[in-house]
Amino acid sequence: MENTEGVFFLTGKDFKNAGAASSSLKGILEGRGVPQPIIRRVAIAAFEAEMNVIIYAVAGMMNYTITDEMIKIRIQDMGPGIPNIEQAMKEGYSTAPDYIREMGFGSGMGLPNIKRNSDTLTVNSVVGEGTTVEFSMNLPPAE
């Protein structure tokens, strides 16, 4: 099948549209006939990365590429960056402010959820500039 790629734009604090990019991506994967268990993993990881942009950054974008071999997603933002990525990856670590916690975010499980559901994950960040989270899921060979 031909590769599919595209981009969604994300706006910081836009809680009204939170999850919209991940939902659209899920629809695209369903349209391409990607196996359900893999779609589920992508949906979880994409949502977590999308929410982190909305919660912590000013703006960002989600790029996706789907080939016959894999699904690759890159979420890049302009935002405060992450000073200590290793610490941020730890389950339970969160800097979410109170009003975000009241909405049910800030359990420090987002990045661990991405890690658990992806086959590769890289997080790059420059404090004061932004963060790039890139992950991929392998697709089973077509019969």
Ligand X SMILES: Nc1ncnc2c1ncn2[C@@H]1O[C@H](COP(=O)(O)OP(=O)(O)OP(=O)(O)O)[C@@H](O)[C@H]1O
CB of 78 to other proteins, least distance (A): 22
Residue with tokens 């339970």: 92
Token reading at 49: 């990365």
Cβ pair 10, 50 in contact under 8 A: yes
- By CB under 6 A, is residue 79 in contact with ligand X? yes
Token reading at 98: 């109170």
- By CB under 6 A, is residue 131 in contact with ligand X? yes
Residues 59-98 as x/- pattern, contact with other proteins by CB under 8 A: ----------------------------------------
Cβ pair 113, 88 in contact under 8 A: no
Binding site for ligand X (CB under 6 A): 48, 52-53, 55-57, 77, 79-82, 88, 93-96, 105-111, 131
Binding site for other proteins (CB under 8 A): 15-16, 18-20, 22-23, 26, 40, 43-44, 47-48, 51, 103-110, 112-113, 116
